[in-house]
Amino acid sequence: MDKWQINAAKKMTDFLQDVFKVEKVEVYGSVLDWELLDVFSDVDMNVFLQKDVEFNSQEFINVASEKFGILGYQVHKHEGRDLFRLCFENGWRFDISFFYQKVKECPMAESFECSVDSLVKDFWFCASMVLTKLGRGDYLIASHLALGLCQQIIVLQMIVRDYKKGTHIHRFGDKENVPVFDGLFSATCEGDAKSKILNMLFVAAEQMDKAAMELSERYTCKTHKLKAIQVIGE
């Protein structure tokens, strides 16, 4: 996995040029500095599309997932530019900015399914970032992110409750069980800080798999893929 970025950048560049009408692809950041590059570095890319191309962000996610297999991702939209932060199932991580003049997005109300899918995809990207921060010894940010994953599972529970009850206004709750708490409090918390963070990460991952599987028959579990990435980074 060491210095995997050089090969990954080439494969992604070839893929983008095959699938899209690309004017130019730029690779920048630590990939260009051999001294800074380590196994935890991502690949930073700028993709400039030809002027007549209508860009659709979901189309890119679909074809990239089919080609490489996406563990999780985030999309940050700006005027004339979309930034994709992706972690693939093999552990490759990319920050790819698409620059375009035309956008082909279909405006639609945020459905329950879209809200769940967006949260789940963000969860798994953030989970991969916990491993990156642990690998670089940043236990503070790793802890922050791992705790955030537990919160995301609770947010998912709230989204489901809103959907089932048809409202986001709840004066009283139902004294709901919070499964992620059960996992955290029942798990062994011995060991150093890294062990405790990893324990929290994988408890959260397993809870997300369980919750997501109950919501979608098409969902496939990802905890084992996250553990495989951990092994590669060690």
| Average pLDDT of the segment spanning 196-205 | 93
- pLDDT value at residue 210: 95
Give which of 117, 104, 123 is closest to 206, Cα–Cα: 123
Position 47 pLDDT exceeds 60: yes
- Segment (H or E) for 59: helix 57-68
Domain 5-103 in CATH 3.20.20.70: no
Angle in degrees, CA 187, 189, 194, rounded to 5: 120
pLDDT greater at residue 169 or residue 215: 215
Angle in degrees, CA 160, 113, 74, rounded to 5: 105
Tell me, which fold does domain 112-233 have in CATH?
Answer: Four Helix Bundle (Hemerythrin (Met), subunit A) (1.20.120)
Average pLDDT, the chain: 90
Which residues face 88 on adjacent strands? 70
Domain extent listing, the chain: 5-103, 112-233
Position 143 pLDDT exceeds 60: yes
- pLDDT value at residue 232: 67
Report the SS3 class of residue 157: helix
- pLDDT value at residue 172: 80
pLDDT greater at residue 107 or residue 231: 231
CA distances from 37 to 1, 13, 72, 126, 128 (A): 12, 19, 22, 21, 18
- Starting at the earlier edge strand, list the strands of the sheet with 81-88: 22-28, 43-49, 93-99, 81-88, 70-78
The predicted model scores a pTM of 0.90
pLDDT greater at residue 171 or residue 14: 14
